[in-house]
Amino acid sequence: MTQPVTDLFNLKGKVAVVTGAAMGIGKAIAYRLAECGAAVIITDINLDAANSTVEEFKARGFNTAATKADAGNVEDAGKTVQYAIDTFGDINILVNNAGIYPFSPALDIKEEMWDKTIDINLKGVMFYSRAAALAMKDKNHGGKIVNIASIDAFRPTGNIAHYNASKGGVVMLTKALAKEWAPLGILVNAVAPGSIATPGTTASITGLSPEQQKEMAKEYVAKIPIGRFGEPDDIAKAVLFLASAASDYIVGTTIIADGGVLLS
């Protein structure tokens, strides 16, 4: 029996965890999942920002809660999944969104920056996924795990080798976990965003005058075949597809959502 199309994106009864969801891409993902009926746990290291996102979502009638958790901390992975179970009774969807992208030429990089980037962007994806998968297995139901990679996994931007390595790792980890966990009904996939306008990308532009920033943005947009920067919701819609029943036969893939940058 074919599932009616109106049911494919109905997430009522599902519990989702989105890491680093106080703002930026994570917030847009949490919004779409909640809009489709999921109860959504917003995790972030910035609890004040996470709480105000929850207030904003609650005002729209969404079922959400926030918890402070570091995406790079293994202990926090287990605690976050337990928080989802304690708060909403289950975990069905995990989105590993939190990530950092500090710039440094490879010749100057300090061990601390390498470790922090790998911990948050890659190690955390492993251990949050493991904690979620253990709970899904324990509850004897499948689930969906969506990892946020980057087009930097496929083509280096420059001066951010540690980030390239972490996101390349996310793409391969996605395939490896997908292969091991598909027999359990736990489907692992990823989305690789291109250039998305977020608080993080705005903050990463430093030392330029407003005119220089405008010029830089113009030059960059000229390299995007679709002719514009991405919005957080451009990524959220791809994540929604991978978190929904519309993608039930998709295992270990990475959807590139970059307006065509990798083609140029």
Q: Which residues bind ligand NAD (CB under 6 A)?
A: 19-20, 22-26, 44-46, 49, 70-72, 97-101, 120, 148, 150, 193, 195-196, 198-201
Long-range contacts made by residues 213-217, C-beta under 8 angstroms, separation at least 24?
none
Q: Is residue 220 annotated as a catalytic residue, yes or no?
A: no
Catalytic residue among 31, 83, 101, 163: 163
State the Cα–Cα distance between residues 26 and 43, nearest whole angstrom: 9
Query: Shortest approach of ligand NAD to residue 106 CB, angstroms?
Result: 18
User: In terms of CB distance, is 196 or 242 closer to ligand NAD?
Assistant: 196
Query: Shortest approach of ligand NAD to residue 179 CB, angstroms?
Result: 23
User: In terms of CB distance, is 23 or 243 closer to ligand NAD?
Assistant: 23
Query: Shortest approach of ligand NAD to residue 199 CB, angstroms?
Result: 4
User: In terms of CB distance, is 150 or 174 closer to ligand NAD?
Assistant: 150
Q: How far is CA 86 from the centre of its chain?
A: 23
CA nearest neighbour of 144 among 181, 119, 180 = 181
Query: Shortest approach of ligand NAD to residue 88 CB, angstroms?
Result: 19
CA atoms within 13 A on the CB side of 245: 13
Do 17 and 77 meet the contact criterion of CB atoms below 8 Å apart?
A: no
Query: Shortest approach of ligand NAD to residue 229 CB, angstroms?
Result: 8
DSSP letter, residue 106: T
CA dihedral 191, 195, 199, 202 (to 10 degrees): 160
Please report the DSSP string for 229-256 in residue order. Answer: PBPHHHHHHHHHHHHSGGGTT--S-EEE
User: In terms of CB distance, is 3 or 202 closer to ligand NAD?
Assistant: 202
State the Cα–Cα distance between residues 174 and 126, nearest whole angstrom: 9
DSSP letter, residue 2: P
Task: Specify the DSSP element, H or E, that contains 140.
Answer: none
User: In terms of CB distance, is 2 or 218 closer to ligand NAD?
Assistant: 218
Query: Shortest approach of ligand NAD to residue 151 CB, angstroms?
Result: 7
Q: Write out the two tokens for 96.
A: 């590993």
Within 150-228, residue ranges assigned H as helices are 161-181, 199-204, 210-221
Catalytic residues: 163
